[in-house]
Structures are given as C-alpha cells and as structure tokens.
Copies of this chain bind each other. A is one copy, B any other.
Amino acid sequence: MEERDALSLVLFSGTDDKLAAAAILVVGAAAMDRKVDIMLQYWALDAFRKEGIHKPRGASPEAGIEGWEVLQRSIEELGTPHWSDVLRQARDIGDVRIHACSQSLDIFKLSKEDLDPMVDDVQGVAAFWAEANGQVLFI
C-alpha cells in the first residue's frame, strides 16, 4: 500500500507547541520507515532561520501565559529535547526532507542561505503535490 508509506506535511504555524507536536509526529512516522516531506510556509518558515532556531517562539495564543509556563516547566523537568533537535533526530533515523516554500521565502525576503542547514531545498506548491502521494497534514 504505497499511500501509507509517504507522509506529507504542510508546516504553517511557528509556535513552539505546534512545532513540537509536528516534530513528534514526524519522528514517529520516520521510525516506521515512512518517507516524510515537510513544506515550510509562513510562520513555520520564519522559525527555521539559521540564527535563532532555538529561540523561544511562544505557544499558540489560546495557551495564554499560564499555558506557556506549563510548557516551559515541563521542558525543564522532563528534559524534552527542542523540536528542532527532534526533527534532526528524525532525519538521522529516516528519510525526512524539509522544503522551504518558494512563495513564503519571497514574502519574508529570505533565501535558502538564511535558513537552518536542516532545510534541504526550495520547493513550489506544484512540486509538493507531485510528491504527496499519501497522507497530508496541515499544521
């Protein structure tokens, strides 16, 4: 069943909680030998700037300050790795590719060189759909 093998992710949000949720879904899929393609758009692309990928980016606005503090405390107490390190781990164990959306690069006046080396290449939406032959998530 080829559809099951690939997982395609449109990563739009740039808050630490959504990026952490995405990273754990990706590492789980990679551990099951599934190819994963991630296209970075908008605020998620912004979160992959080379300098500052570990910079705190807050939680979803619904979390409020209280929710953000819960997350911060749990990271300290549980020693949870940062989402970018979870993604790096996913790339070590599986076939995980990270693409910067060309249109979003234009919006933020960024080029591939401004992004973390974890980002593999620049991709348009047509190329994303051409490869997305299985499940797709928008986060």
Binding site for B on A (CB under 8 A): 1, 3-4, 10, 12-15, 17-18, 21, 24-25, 27-29, 31-32, 34, 41-43, 46, 58, 60-63, 67, 70-71, 74, 78, 80, 103, 106-109, 124-126, 128-130, 132-133, 135-139
Q: Of B1, B10, B28, B138, which one neighbours A128 at CB under 8 angstroms?
A: B28
Q: Is A25 touching B125 in the complex (CB atoms < 8 A)? A: yes
Q: Is B138 touching A28 in the complex (CB atoms < 8 A)? A: no
Identify 16 new A-B residue pairs, CB closer than 8 A, beyond the known A28-B126, A61-B61.
A1-B133, A10-B25, A12-B18, A28-B128, A28-B129, A32-B130, A43-B60, A46-B67, A71-B107, A74-B107, A78-B107, A80-B107, A132-B135, A136-B136, A136-B137, A138-B139
Q: Of B31, B32, B62, which one neighbours A13 at CB under 8 angstroms?
A: B62
A-B pairs with beta carbons under 8 Å apart, 5 shown: A15-B62, A21-B42, A27-B125, A28-B125, A136-B136
What B residues does A29 contact at CB under 8 A?
129
- Chain B residue nearest to A18 (CB atoms) is B12
